[in-house]
């Protein structure tokens, strides 16, 4: 099989994508475990809502490719069109949090991660975490095509964005998480 046919083939996968796929599936597995645990102890509706809020914490605070393997690859396999679901998933996460803040603000205090998310959403000095994550979400579909440089600088930029975003998240939010963790441990 020639190199051009190999790249156009559906079954050709670059080796570094296996690691990304495994990390994505591990994150999905962790989220399903946490959501299942919350459904078990809070009931189906409250547990699922708490699971969606936990997922939105991940989407809003961690600047990585949210949902590209979970949503983008199946859609690509079906339609042969490359999509970037990051912006859609970011808007969905923001919408879930806005509706919960308006109609059920006390719901955030039911679990550790949702309580932590509530503190991040209601204190404005944590907004740089959300802003940086949103900018990182926009990088691949909108900013990268506008910058005509080779592939490697974009990969370095994405990895630096991930590193800076995680460091920003941990630096700004680690004390709040310790406080929330201690508050829920003493219940």
Which residues lie closer than 8 Å to 99 by C-beta, 6 or more apart? none
Mean pLDDT of 180-186: 79
Helix residue ranges, H only, the chain: 3-8, 15-42, 44-61, 73-79, 86-103, 112-122, 127-138, 151-185
pLDDT at 10: 44
Q: Specify the number of domains making up the chain.
A: 1
Q: Which residue has the higher pLDDT, 14 or 76?
A: 76
Task: Indicate if the pLDDT at residue 53 is higher than 60.
Answer: yes
Question: Residue range 96-100: average pLDDT?
Answer: 96
Q: Which residues neighbour 72 within 8 Å (Cβ) at sequence distance 6 or greater? A: 82, 83, 84, 85
Mean pLDDT score of the chain, rounded to an integer?
Answer: 81
Q: Where is average pLDDT lowest: 16-20, 56-60, 174-178?
A: 16-20
- Crossing angle of the two packed helices 127-138 and 44-61, in degrees rounded to 10: 80
Give mean pLDDT, residues 32-55: 91
Instruction: State which residues form the domain around 15.
Output: 3-185
């Amino acid at each position: 099989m020639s190199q051009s046919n190999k790249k156009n083939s559906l079954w050709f996968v670059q080796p570094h994508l296996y690691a990304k796929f495994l990390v994505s599936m591990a994150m999905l597995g962790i989220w399903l475990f946490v959501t299942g645990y919350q459904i078990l102890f809070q009931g189906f509706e409250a547990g699922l809502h708490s699971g969606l809020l936990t997922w939105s914490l991940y989407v809003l605070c961690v600047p990585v490719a949210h949902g590209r393997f979970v949503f983008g690859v199946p859609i690509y396999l079906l339609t042969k069109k490359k999509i970037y679901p990051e912006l859609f998933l970011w808007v969905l996460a923001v919408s879930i949090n806005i509706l919960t803040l308006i109609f059920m603000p006390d719901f955030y205090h039911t679990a550790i991660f949702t309580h932590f998310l509530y503190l991040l959403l209601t204190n404005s000095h944590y907004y740089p975490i959300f802003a940086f994550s949103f900018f990182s979400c926009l990088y691949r579909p909108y900013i990268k095509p506008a910058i005509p440089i080779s592939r490697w600088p974009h990969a370095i930029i994405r990895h630096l964005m991930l590193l800076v975003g995680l460091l920003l998240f941990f630096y700004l939010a680690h004390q709040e998480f310790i406080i929330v963790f201690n508050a829920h441990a003493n219940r």
